[in-house]
């Protein structure tokens, strides 16, 4: 299995994976195509023996302001506050293979290369545990409730700093 750049010709396979993995969160092909057009370096496909068995879509975005489900962005913000992981989907045969952890690390590299200081996402379908293992933590802000309502009651906004904040010791010194 290999993560490779997504192309427009992958969109039918990506939609097929999405239909299996996220049947309760449908999104139009135009949403996937727009994300690919706006930030192709954040769109990857997991290639299996018989074709794509997973994908990830991510792009620069505003911190604590996830786009509503199945919505177009039109453009990326000029002053992005984070790298937003729109979707990571793996077919059952790819789960447990380590592919999710591999691509999470790759997304952190892409975000750092883009000059962004954090990653963010909306965890659905019980995926919070996976994302916690990748260093993400739930963010609780009242302003997020409306955006998360387009997913479901169990959706959680999560974020991960790319560079940990220095801690201050009792003596007033900072540690890396």
Residue 146 — pLDDT band, cuts 50, 70, 90?
Answer: confident
Domain coordinates of the chain in residue numbers? Answer: 2-175
C-alpha 85/C-alpha 52 separation (Å) is 19
* Phi then psi dihedrals of residue 49, to 5 deg: -60, -35
Residues 6+ positions from 23 with CB-CB distance below 8 Å: none
pTM: 0.88
- 103 touches 56 (CB < 8 A): yes
Please determine, looking at this structure, whether the domain spanning 2-175 carries the CATH number 3.30.70.240.
no
pLDDT in tens, 106-138: 999 999 999 999 999 999 988 999 999 999 999
- Judged by average pLDDT, the poorest of 70-74, 87-91, 137-141 is 137-141
The predicted structure's pLDDT at residue 175? 46
Q: What is the dihedral of CA 39, 109, 105, 54, to 10 degrees?
A: 20
C-alpha 157/C-alpha 85 separation (Å) is 11
């Amino acid at each position: 299995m290999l993560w490779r750049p997504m192309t427009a010709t992958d969109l039918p396979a990506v939609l097929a994976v999405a239909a299996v993995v996220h049947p309760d969160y449908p999104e139009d092909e135009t949403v996937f195509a727009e994300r690919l057009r706006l930030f192709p370096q954040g769109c990857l496909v997991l290639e299996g023996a018989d074709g794509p068995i997973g994908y990830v879509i991510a792009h620069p975005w505003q911190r604590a302001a996830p786009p509503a489900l199945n919505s177009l962005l039109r453009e990326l913000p000029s002053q992005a506050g984070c790298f937003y992981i729109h979707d990571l989907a793996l077919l059952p045969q790819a789960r447990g293979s380590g592919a999710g952890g591999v691509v999470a690390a790759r997304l952190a590299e892409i975000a750092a290369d883009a000059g962004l200081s954090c990653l963010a996402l909306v965890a659905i379908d019980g995926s919070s545990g996976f994302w916690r293992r990748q260093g993400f933590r739930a963010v609780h802000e009242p302003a997020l409730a409306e955006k998360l309502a387009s997913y479901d009651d169990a959706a959680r906004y999560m974020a991960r700093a790319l560079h940990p904040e220095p801690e201050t010791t009792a003596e007033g010194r900072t540690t890396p």
